[in-house]
Amino acid sequence: MAKAERKGLGLWVLLVAIAVLTGIFAGTVLLKPEAVEITSGTILKSPRPVEPFSLTRDSGAPFTNADLAGHWTVVFAGFTFCPDVCPTTLAELKAMTAKLGATADQVRVLLVSVDPGRDTPEKIGQYVRFFNPAFVGVTGTDAQLEALGRNLGFVYAKVDGATPESYTIDHSTALILIDPQGRIAGYLTPPFKPDTMAADLNTLLASRR
C-alpha cells in the first residue's frame, strides 16, 4: 500500500473514531434526560427492575410483570380488613385519579393485598372497585408477597388479635411508582395530597413521552 494511501486510511479511521465517540458522548450526556423532581415523594436517579413475579388478579387471572408495561402504576400494599389507613389512602388515590383528567387512563392504581388468609380475589375486587372501577387488586401466597415486598420495598407483619380471626396487619404506607417499562421509578410518601400527587404524575407523564 502506498504511503499516501496508508495516510488517507489512517485519517479515515481517526474520523470514524471521533464520530463514534461524539455519538456516545451525545447519547450519554447531551441527550440524557434531566432528572425529574416531584413534591409528593422521591424519584430514583436510575429505575430499578422489578424481578419476575406471579400473583393472582381480582378476576382470578394471573398477574405478572407483563401487566405493568405500557402505563404508570401506583402500587399500595394493604388489605381489605384494614380499619383506617387503607380506605383513607384508596380514597385519596380515587381523588388523585379524578384530578389527573385526560391522563387518568395512563395511570393504574394497584392494591397488593398482604392478607392472603382472608382476602380472596373476589373480595379484593369488590373492595377496590368500591373506590374506583378502574382500580385493580392482586394477592398471592405469603412467599410470593414477601419476595415482591423485598423487591419493591414494602413490608408487613401479622399482629394477633383476641381471636384467631381478629388479627390485623401492620404494613408500609408508602406508594411505589412503576414506570411504563415495568421498573421501580420512585415512591410517594404520606401525607398524601391528591392535588399534589396528580400534578407530580402529570409531570412524570410529560417527561417520559
Q: 78 to each of 9, 23, 58, how far by Cα in Å? A: 66, 47, 14
Cβ atoms within 10 Å, residue 12: 10
* Residues ≥6 apart with Cβ < 8 Å to 170: 156, 157, 159
Look-up: residue for cell 447519547? 27
What is this structure's pTM? 0.83
Contact between residue 38 and residue 198 where contact means Cβ atoms under 8 Å apart: no
The pLDDT value given to residue 25: 40
pLDDT digits (tens, 9 = 90+) for 124-156: 999 999 999 999 999 999 999 999 999 999 999
pLDDT digits (tens, 9 = 90+) for 63-89: 999 999 999 999 999 999 999 999 999
Name the residue with higher pLDDT: 27 or 161. Answer: 161
In percent, the amount of the chain with pLDDT more than 70 equals: 83
Contact between residue 57 and residue 63 where contact means Cβ atoms under 8 Å apart: yes
